[in-house]
A and B are shown apart, each in its own frame.
Chain A
Amino acid sequence: MSPEPPPEVPERTEGRDAPAAIWSWLAGVVDSRRLFPLIAAVLLMVIWAATWMLIRAHHAGVEERAEIAVVDLAQTYEAQVVRALIQIDATLKLIRYAYAMRPEASVLSELGAHGLLPLDLLFEVSITDAKGQIVASTRDRMGTSVAGQDFFEMQRQTEGFVMSEPRLDPSTGEWSVYFSRRIAVVDNGFAGVVVVATDPAYFVSSYEAATMGERGMLGVLGSNGRFSALRTGDTVSYGDTTDYSSEFSEIDDGAASAVKVSVSPWDGERRYTTAIELFSFPATVVVGLSEREQLAAGNPRVVQYLWSATIASGVALVFVTILGRMSWQLQQSQMRLMQQQVITTERMEHLAYHDSLTGLPNRRLFLDRLEQEVKRANRSSLPLSILFMDLDGFKEVNDSLGHEAGDRLLSDVAERLTDCVREDDTVARLGGDEFTVILTGAKEREDVERVAQTIIDALAMPFHIAQQSVQISVSIGITLYPQDASSPDALLEAADQAMYKAKKSDSNRMCFYDTSDKTDRDPA
């Protein structure tokens, strides 16, 4: 028999502290199984987005510094090249002047003795006549000819400072670049040239691996747009035949050089490149820094950022996992507590509404059920009947065999009664040796009578209690609703009266309530 929910529901949140209630509410709003992975995902997103932005900013910084560095290097380099060219031109003018004063081969050794010639280790100085024959030289070149060389032919035409294309001396395997000025006689006729020659590598010797890396570049572009010398790392190239003037045409706008990031056509390296066209000499200086090397220099920082982000992610994950686990455990214990409370409440409800000896509904629950069944009978117009039972001979058993045997007998009676009715019917113990049954299914008076007879027969069978066979009987009073009474209380009262009537008559153990009985009993 499943008890219907009792009318009063005990306060379930009783004894629960406030923070737990708030937590419970929060946990209800967002399921922790979804909340903590969400927190973890958000944390990871924040960490990696921040890292990505840091790396971006770092790269931007590296690029900006590279551009500043390349402009800086170009300006320094420009100054060095210009100074070197001014020194060379000054030497050319000095020698031309000295030779005009004293046109003899010994003029060079005399100037050298006074320390007026450029460093012999690096520079070669020569004087030619109008036909290109060398008439004086700091090297052993007397009698050789420069006729036909580009600078000599240019000097023949016009006065000016001429820088030749680099030229390989097949006998020594060494490259030279020739700087020259023409020697004129009184009537401005061509009388020869003064020449200073040096290795083109001289003009790119300021390459500094510490600042420019292994893939940077320094170069001097001649007026023909070709590199006189081009250095990358320790490699120097000479006599390039490609015209690069178009490469640097956009960025050779004097002092304010723009930095271009592009692939150098001669070696395929991507570089930050800038060029400065010299103001007073027919040359352009070009400086480049390898993009790969510049970015690689910043890699340790990027690696550091990535490591930090990885560690932060790990810490965040561990933290969220621990938090999630704690939350889950809290929820679990909360749930167990609630389940225990429900069980306790159910037990207490059961105790309050049931007879502890037989486990049958007690008077309270019986009255409650009766009221509900009456209401239901009113709605459905189905008949309802009450069987009121009182045991005969119970007091004797109790007195002769003791209370324990009496209790045992009551339990056995309860069991037999329950077996006699359908599951929907309520069997209750009102107290002492009084039992009641609410029958809801019996349509006819005969049906009720049959059930009552079944009960009488069942209880007439001997009980085995304390190794003894005990024989009792039962008196049953029966009322029908709505014929016998209109209220649950009156119905029960009537059943009680009918039971007394049955008890008094020896022959009949069951008795239906008769409305005339009421008047009989009233005066009594």
Chain B
Amino acid sequence: MARRIRAACVGLFLGMTAADSVGAVDVVVVMSATSPTVTLNGDQIGAIFLGKSVRLANGAIAVPIDLADGSAERTTFYTKYAGKTPAQMKMHWSKLVFTGRGHPPRQVSDAEDLKKLLADNPTAISYIDASLVDDTLTVIADY
């Protein structure tokens, strides 16, 4: 009757394997092409998507945007930048929402919606399949 959340640690490895299996997806972190040039390291990008406020060079707070839950890009991105599986991310947000300390990023359903949203929001930051990057986007990290 008991389920160990710690088992999710095992899930981390499974998640990595999953990420490797979807390794065809090359995910890059992007912002709007109109955004001022920013430099963020991997830890800062991870922090932005885990609900911590990170200020950009111009003083604005970075606004994270998520792709749909279960998408290959999302799984790959969180494995790489936050070191967390989808199950661990669910636990993370469960705790923050329950304790009232945070709310997950806004979510868009596909890459087209994402591009539109980024174009309108210079402080917004997200991730996308590298093959879908066009001149409306700036790649700010590609690990």
Name A's B-contacting residues (CB within 8 A).
80, 83-84, 119-122, 175, 199, 201-203, 205-206, 234-240
Whether A205 contacts B4 by the Cβ 8 Å rule is no
Whether B1 contacts A238 by the Cβ 8 Å rule is yes
Which of these, A119, A175, A202, A239, contacts B104 with CB under 8 Å? A119
Tell me the total A-B contact number using a CB cutoff of 8 A: 55
Closest chain B CB from A453 CB (angstroms): 124
* Minimum CB distance partner of A241 in chain B: B1
* Minimum CB distance partner of A233 in chain B: B6
A-B contact pairs, 9 of them (CB 8 A): A80-B99, A83-B100, A84-B98, A121-B90, A121-B104, A175-B3, A199-B94, A205-B99, A240-B1
Q: Other than the known A202-B97, A235-B3, what 7 A-B pairs have Cβ atoms closer than 8 Å?
A: A120-B107, A121-B69, A201-B91, A201-B94, A235-B4, A238-B1, A239-B1
Which of these, A119, A201, A205, A234, contacts B6 with CB under 8 Å? A234
Q: How far is the CA of A80 from the CA of B97 in the complex (A)?
A: 10
User: Chain B CB within 10 Å — which of A80, A121, A237 has the most?
Assistant: A121
B95 at the interface (CB under 8 A from A): yes
Q: How far is the CA of A84 from the CA of B90 in the complex (A)?
A: 17
Closest chain B CB from A106 CB (angstroms): 17
With A119-B93, A121-B69 as given contacts, are A202 and B2 in contact (CB-CB < 8 Å)?
Answer: no
B5 at the interface (CB under 8 A from A): yes
Q: How far is the CA of A121 from the CA of B104 in the complex (A)?
A: 9
Q: Provide the B1-24 mask, 1 if CB < 8 A to any CB of A, else 0.
A: 111111000000000000000000
Whether A205 contacts B69 by the Cβ 8 Å rule is no
With A83-B100, A206-B99 as given contacts, are A235 and B2 in contact (CB-CB < 8 Å)?
Answer: yes
Whether A234 contacts B4 by the Cβ 8 Å rule is yes
B55 at the interface (CB under 8 A from A): no
With A119-B103, A121-B69, A234-B6 as given contacts, are A202 and B98 in contact (CB-CB < 8 Å)?
Answer: yes
Q: How far is the CA of A119 from the CA of B96 in the complex (A)?
A: 12
Q: How far is the CA of A501 from the CA of B133 in the complex (A)?
A: 161
Neighbouring B residues of A84 by C-beta, 8 Å: 98
Whether B1 contacts A122 by the Cβ 8 Å rule is no
**B53-107, CB < 8 A from A:** 69, 90-91, 93-95, 97-100, 103-104, 107
Whether B98 contacts A203 by the Cβ 8 Å rule is yes
**B1-49, CB < 8 A from A:** 1-6
Whether B5 contacts A236 by the Cβ 8 Å rule is yes
Whether A205 contacts B98 by the Cβ 8 Å rule is yes
* Minimum CB distance partner of B5 in chain A: A234
Q: How far is the CA of A202 from the CA of B92 in the complex (A)?
A: 10
Q: How far is the CA of A203 from the CA of B104 in the complex (A)?
A: 17
Closest chain B CB from A500 CB (angstroms): 130
Whether A206 contacts B98 by the Cβ 8 Å rule is yes
* Minimum CB distance partner of B86 in chain A: A121
Closest chain B CB from A122 CB (angstroms): 6
Neighbouring B residues of A83 by C-beta, 8 Å: 100
Closest chain B CB from A268 CB (angstroms): 15
Closest chain A CB from B104 CB (angstroms): 6
Neighbouring A residues of B1 by C-beta, 8 Å: 237-240
* Minimum CB distance partner of B69 in chain A: A121
Whether B93 contacts A121 by the Cβ 8 Å rule is yes
The 9 closest A-B pairs by CB, nearest first: A205-B95, A205-B94, A234-B6, A234-B5, A237-B2, A205-B98, A206-B99, A202-B94, A235-B4
Neighbouring B residues of A119 by C-beta, 8 Å: 93, 97, 103-104
User: Chain A CB within 10 Å — which of B2, B90, B94, B95 has the most?
Assistant: B94
Neighbouring B residues of A205 by C-beta, 8 Å: 91, 94-95, 98-99
User: Chain B CB within 10 Å — which of A83, A122, A175, A240 has the most?
Assistant: A122
Neighbouring A residues of B99 by C-beta, 8 Å: 80, 205-206
User: Chain A CB within 10 Å — which of B5, B69, B98 has the most?
Assistant: B98
Q: How far is the CA of A206 from the CA of B6 in the complex (A)?
A: 15
Q: How far is the CA of A235 from the CA of B2 in the complex (A)?
A: 7
Q: How far is the CA of A234 from the CA of B10 in the complex (A)?
A: 14
Neighbouring B residues of A206 by C-beta, 8 Å: 95, 98-99
Q: How far is the CA of A237 from the CA of B4 in the complex (A)?
A: 8
With A121-B69, A121-B104 as given contacts, are A238 and B98 in contact (CB-CB < 8 Å)?
Answer: no
Whether A235 contacts B5 by the Cβ 8 Å rule is yes
Which of these, B5, B93, B107, contacts A122 with CB under 8 Å? B93
Q: How far is the CA of A122 from the CA of B93 in the complex (A)?
A: 8
Neighbouring A residues of B2 by C-beta, 8 Å: 235-238
* Minimum CB distance partner of A175 in chain B: B3
User: Chain B CB within 10 Å — which of A83, A175, A199, A234 has the most?
Assistant: A234
Q: How far is the CA of A206 from the CA of B69 in the complex (A)?
A: 23
Which of these, A122, A234, A237, A238, contacts B94 with CB under 8 Å? A122
Neighbouring A residues of B104 by C-beta, 8 Å: 119, 121
Q: How far is the CA of A119 from the CA of B100 in the complex (A)?
A: 13
Q: How far is the CA of A122 from the CA of B69 in the complex (A)?
A: 11
Whether A122 contacts B97 by the Cβ 8 Å rule is yes
Closest chain A CB from B114 CB (angstroms): 17
User: Chain A CB within 10 Å — which of B5, B93, B107 has the most?
Assistant: B5
* Minimum CB distance partner of A231 in chain B: B5
Q: How far is the CA of A205 from the CA of B99 in the complex (A)?
A: 8
Q: How far is the CA of A121 from the CA of B95 in the complex (A)?
A: 12
